[in-house]
Structure 1
Amino acid sequence: MSKVTPRCIIVRHGQTEWSKSGQYTGLTDIPLTPYGVEQMRRTGKCVFGNKFIDPNHITYIFTSPRQRARKTVDLILESLTEEQRSKIRIVVDNDLREWEYGDYEGLLTHEIVKLRKSRGLDQERPWNIWRDGCENGESTKQIGCRLSRVISRIQNLHRQQQKDGVPSDILVFAHGHALRYFASLWIKHGLEEKYEPSFDPPKPTYNDETVPNVTMEKYRYLVDNPNFLLDAGGMGVLSYAHHNIDEPALALAGTFIAPPEEESQHEPVVE
């Protein structure tokens, strides 16, 4: 078994015109700004140049199908050698798309609030996307369900890689709401419900024979704001306590890796 605890490193795409203005960008497929391109190019040089991420430990990259995410993948990996890049499997997964905002696509938050009030909504409490979802878009249960599927696949890969003694960083490139939601579900925030076979998408959301599909029994969804921040171009690190895949955790040290002698030696709690 590898002594290097697996990590899931989440990366929000670089700046776009709509991330800059604050417009809700779901299915709209817009490119990075010139600043966003250089932003992510610099980030790649920094994280690899300073050894925050060892490129030889990257086993998979999962990415949203939107061009702003896929371009960010290319820019982050640009400073690596061709041989290093060739060893990383890139999986485009439609389950990682941004929240489908429906009627709110392209709007600013105050415009959404005004629109909802004009429709007689939110009379007793203010709109909360994490609880209320989006009109003609996705509910919180819908996005929670599909992100739960991605988490299950990644944790299943980590479990096998750890068993095989393979150090594994899996990078996930996606969007602002989706990644904050993803991080919250990773550390088991929200509510849990039974997963029904009818929740499966009509066709596979990714195409890679090395990533096993996981039979879902339960999924999680949020009912309130997780109060996580992740600006355009930002990174976060998720991992596991006690080297145990059954104990997913938020790595507060970020991409910094403590030397082995500094790692916590606390034993897991046995109930």
Structure 2
Amino acid sequence: MPKLVLVRHGQSVWNLQNRFTGWVDVPLTEKGKEEAYKAGELLKDIRFTVAYTSALTRAQETLKIILETIGLYIPVIKDQALNERHYGALQGLNKDRAREKWGAEIVHLWRRSYDIPPPEGESLKDTAARTIPFLERAILGDIIDGHDVLVVAHGNSLRSIVMYLEKLSPEEIIKVEIPTGTPIVYELDEKCNVVSKEIRNLTE
């Protein structure tokens, strides 16, 4: 049964600094590189034949480390559809300073609601509107053809994929957290329904 594995990129410099990152292209920290290496170690039993990532460096760098750790040289497809949610006017801001500027309640609403975007940015609903068509068109096409597929992307683009695969409601998905560098392994049937799910913890 084909596997679809989702991995959020390792810790980035702006994750460490508690800043809204979005589409700003920032590199991994040393911890982020180590998380990517550990993810690769945890995925050595899966023989991926294709990988997908976003147009952003932190995801591409994570994927590169994972594949090097496994010892795989496979096609890599990069697409902006898998980019992180665009945080608009919040991008680059420290999250505490954003709360001081707009108030904790409104910032929490922008971060955690399903369909309320920050100024000039995307909501999770907007992110899903570009991620899910790409998932259906490209990634699940490989699954249907029997390939094991690795997707390395971002917290919110992956949350939209999790929402689709697990048939979660908007109320359910806003409670879902996806840790950096932690592989989520799905087995899918021929109709791309989830048969099993395993979270491979980096500390194991």
Bin for the TM-score computed over the shorter chain: 0.7 to 0.9
Matching residue within 102, 127, 132 for 1:143: 127
| 1:207 aligned partner | none
Post-superposition offset of 1:8: 1.3
| 1:107 aligned partner | 93
Question: Equivalents in 1 of 2:186, 2:163: separation in Å?
Answer: 10
| 1:170 aligned partner | 149
Post-superposition offset of 1:110: 4.2
| 1:218 aligned partner | none
| 2:191 aligned partner | 245
Runs of 4+ in 1 over 3 A off after TM superposition: 108-118, 125-129, 222-226
| 1:208 aligned partner | none
| 1:34 aligned partner | 30
Cα distance per residue 1:216-238 (max 9 Å; x no partner): xxxxxx46643222222121123
- TM-score, with structure 2 as normaliser: 0.83
| 2:180 aligned partner | 232
Question: Equivalents in 2 of 1:25, 1:104: separation in Å?
Answer: 8
Shift in alpha-carbon separation, 1:39–1:247, aligned structure 2, 3 A: closer
Shift in alpha-carbon separation, 1:114–1:73, aligned structure 2, 3 A: same
Post-superposition offset of 1:96: 0.3
| 1:90 aligned partner | 76
Question: Equivalents in 1 of 2:98, 2:5: separation in Å?
Answer: 31
Shift in alpha-carbon separation, 1:16–1:246, aligned structure 2, 3 A: closer
Partner-residue secondary structure (3-state), 1:79: helix
Matching residue within 183, 187, 193 for 2:162: 183
Partner-residue secondary structure (3-state), 1:252: strand
Shift in alpha-carbon separation, 1:25–1:126, aligned structure 2, 3 A: closer
Question: Equivalents in 1 of 2:96, 2:160: separation in Å?
Answer: 21
Shift in alpha-carbon separation, 1:174–1:111, aligned structure 2, 3 A: same
Gaps of 5+ in 1: 163-167, 191-221, 257-271
Identity over the aligned pairs, expressed in percent? 27
Question: Equivalents in 2 of 1:140, 1:79: separation in Å?
Answer: 32
Shift in alpha-carbon separation, 1:225–1:110, aligned structure 2, 3 A: farther
Question: Equivalents in 1 of 2:85, 2:142: separation in Å?
Answer: 25
Shift in alpha-carbon separation, 1:27–1:130, aligned structure 2, 3 A: same
- TM-score, with structure 1 as normaliser: 0.64
Shift in alpha-carbon separation, 1:231–1:22, aligned structure 2, 3 A: farther
Contact 2:142 2:149 in 1 (8 A): no
Question: Equivalents in 2 of 1:187, 1:157: separation in Å?
Answer: 19
Query: What amino acid does structure 2 have at the position aligned with 1:19?
Result: N
| 2:143 aligned partner | 158
Partner-residue secondary structure (3-state), 1:146: helix
| 1:132 aligned partner | 116
Which has a greater percent of helix?
A: 2
| 2:20 aligned partner | 24
| 2:69 aligned partner | 79
Cα distance per residue 1:147-202 (max 9 Å; x no partner): 1112202222222x14xxxxx21111111222122211222334xxxxxxxxxxxx
Cα RMSD of the aligned pairs, angstroms, is 2.7
